[in-house]
Chains A and B, each alone.
Chain A
Amino acid sequence: MRLTGGQIVWESLRREGVDVVFGVPGGAILPTFDALALGKYPIRHVLVRHEQCAAHAADGYARATGKVGVAIATSGPGATNLVTGIATAMMDSTPMVAITGQVATSFIGGDAFQETDVTGITLPITKHNYLVTDVRDLAQVFAEAFYIARSGRPGPVLIDIAKDVQQAETEFEYPDSVHLPGLMLPKPADPEAVKAAAEMINAAERPLIVAGHGVQMADATWELQQIAEKAEIPVVTTLLGIGDIPESHPLCLGMGGMHGEAYANKAIQECDVLIAVGMRFDDRLTGQLDSFAPNAKIIHFELDPAEVGKNVKPDIAVVGDAKDSLGALLPLIKERRHPAWIDLINSWREESRKRDILNFEVDELIPPFVIRQLWEATRKDDVIIVTDVGQHQMWEAQYFVHDRPFRLITSGGLGTMGFGLPAAIGAKVGKPETEVWAVVGDGGFQMTLQELGTLMQEKIAVKIAIIDNSFLGMVRQWQEFFYDRRYAGTPIMGPDYVKLAEAYNIPARCVTRNEEVADAIEEARATDGPFLIAFRVKEEVNVYPMVAPGAGVGEMLRRPEPRIAQGYSGVEPSW
């Protein structure tokens, strides 16, 4: 079968099971878009309003479905706009293939119109990348790219295709195998290491599991929960590990780290054996490394050998797929109970509850209340929450109780503001039957709000909850704590979000009072198609607890003790 390069792109995508791509066309990728127009490919192209959002949408799609997300853009500015989205995917190990057009081979290197060295630019933010200058290589490159993107520890792969390659013809045959001698694939876990780990766990008095993204990516949530229950081991998760174990499970302590629950962080500091699974000891979790888990022996279950010993040197390392490793560990774990340890943690939990802002009668609309209401309203259903980055993201992690895996999509490693809306678009396109909420701050939303146009054009039913506090809230919080309340650059104005949504023909409402929250959420859910709610919340609310940068994870800034409010008899929390 003789095909042009452009046709080979779609034929290859079809063979890789791709049914949707997110992109923006342009000069250097035109032959490929033309092939899509001419051909009868069962592939939907979702036109986004900015290429950054093509990458974020592909990312959200991949995280929601487990499949490889695909973004497509033209050369030069189209490709450079993808960079933030690719870097986001790299940090959070999302399987993604990004396709970019490149100027014709005869122009490469000559500073041609819309020419950029895209493979050079994306070298450190991709798992691998390709520049295709010969159409005969194209099918092979696609097969390799998809294999690399989804194998082992997944990641983004970029394919840069010269324009003349897209136009040239060749005999098409899709390879049924790839030869990649340098690709590291996970080996079965070393049984000796698993045995040593089991012995250490069986001897522990105060064991603790810290579970990360890798547990869900390896589909090892069942194994994790079995181990936790069998030996009564409490589980702290990382931000991306939320959903590794049902958060309403009595052994689940929720998220640890910079804005983790105080009792989760205390458990890290007090445990005697710390079992890290599918996580990489990110600084947001560990705080100051010198004082991290000072009393613990550390066991690290990890797929990527380079993550072992990178930040924390483990006493035992089990390198391999989490499902295999935990599966091998489970029968070696003894049934045990740790009443003293569990009681101690529960006493910390009780102390935390007393400081919880939701336990106070608060007249003003505050973000944790909104998040908790959203959970209350949707708890019986299967919903995916996609967040942006900042205070609202941390409140979501704290106040939304995720009982299922793959239901929280958030930018962890890179912390990309603007991620929320486009990633929610990708998630909804990938899971059209599932309710998808974009929970975003007013700062991050304004970075990518042009995607309301994508919602409108493609009729994508994402529900948007803007937590609008008229500040770049997390940055403001840092300024309050560490820069003496000098709010440089953090007050941010926004448009009238209801009018904005109306301009895009998206129904919307603004909520300013506690009593309206449940009703607004109900209206959004009852409305077909997209819906936007702007929650006008109290401005200067802080996320507690907080581990100050440079501090140990045990030294938290806690919400100050409640004080008796002046003027009325109630107890008022400090913000």
Chain B
Amino acid sequence: MKHTVIAWMEDKPGVLNRVAGLFRRRNFNIESLTVGHSETPGISRMTFVVDGDDRMVDQSVKQLEKLINVTRVENVTGRPAVIRELALIRVRATGAQRAEVVQLVDIFRGRIVDVARDSMVVEITGPESRVNSLIDLLKYFGILEMARTGRIAMVRGSGSVTREQEFTPGWEEVSSNVVMDGAPK
């Protein structure tokens, strides 16, 4: 079963290495991993998807918590959450195919972000299932290149997973494009 886990960690050199090394050493099966800034300066937020049984996800949470630079870990699997992924897809499209691609992308609420003589770049944000469906359809035209971010997640409603004391006034100023907006150095 796939579990979505969020981890907060200090934005210091080598932290990503520590986390990645732990996953490898403990034999955790990590499907995707996304890191970026959180609302707190100096704290990065990582969302990762671990594919395994309850023991594996329990261990991945507990072992991560033991890392000195990791301040907190939360398994949000099973909680109502907004889960999103962003993908950039370069799809082959010439002549009349262009209109077809545009139409499809429109249905999936994606965007065309670049057009060349024989190809277009599509941007789509959404739950993985929506991203997957669009990719399936675009395969018909020929996918030349693709980049996916992996899952990021936020729990729905007022039950923010950010703790009170970690709440940073003025964090609304942070722009909404937090996806992969700079991994820890």
Chain A interface (Cβ < 8 Å from any Cβ of B):
119-120, 123-124, 127-128, 131, 148, 180-184, 304-306, 308-310, 313
Contact = CB atoms under 8 A, between A and B. Distances in A.
B68 A306 contact: no
A309 B65 contact: no
B21 A124 contact: yes
B71 A181 contact: yes
Interface of B: 9-10, 13-14, 17-18, 21-22, 25, 55, 58-59, 62-63, 65-72
A120 B22 CA distance: 12
A123 B26 CA distance: 13
Given A123-B18, A182-B67, 19 more contacts: A123-B17, A123-B21, A124-B22, A128-B67, A131-B14, A148-B68, A182-B68, A182-B69, A182-B72, A184-B66, A304-B66, A305-B62, A305-B65, A306-B62, A306-B63, A306-B66, A309-B55, A310-B59, A313-B55
A313 B59 CA distance: 12
Contacts of B18: 123
A313 B58 CA distance: 12
Nearest to B66: A306
4 A-B pairs with least C-beta separation: A306-B62, A128-B68, A182-B71, A124-B25
A148 B68 CA distance: 8
A336 to B, nearest CB: 34
Determine which residue in B9, B14, B68, B69 has the highest number of CB atoms from chain A within 10 A of its CB, and name it. B68
Contact of B70 (A148, A182, A304, A309): A182
A180 B68 contact: yes
27 contacts: A119-B14, A120-B17, A123-B17, A123-B18, A124-B21, A124-B22, A124-B25, A128-B67, A148-B68, A180-B68, A182-B9, A182-B10, A182-B67, A182-B69, A182-B70, A182-B71, A184-B65, A304-B66, A305-B62, A305-B65, A306-B59, A306-B62, A306-B63, A306-B65, A308-B62, A309-B59, A310-B59
Contacts of B72: 182
Given A119-B14, A182-B10, A127 B68 contact: yes
A183 B66 CA distance: 7
A449 B41 CA distance: 53
Nearest to B72: A182
Contacts of A123: 17-18, 21
A414 B46 CA distance: 32
Contacts of A119: 14
A310 B58 CA distance: 9
Contacts of A305: 62, 65
A182 B18 CA distance: 13
A309 B58 contact: yes
A44 to B, nearest CB: 30
A420 to B, nearest CB: 28
Contacts of A148: 68
B81 to A, nearest CB: 24
A350 B9 CA distance: 57
A309 B66 CA distance: 15
Contacts of A131: 13-14
A181 B9 CA distance: 10
Contacts of B58: 309
A147 to B, nearest CB: 10
Contacts of B71: 181-182
Nearest to A152: B66
Contacts of A181: 10, 71
B45 to A, nearest CB: 14
B44 to A, nearest CB: 12
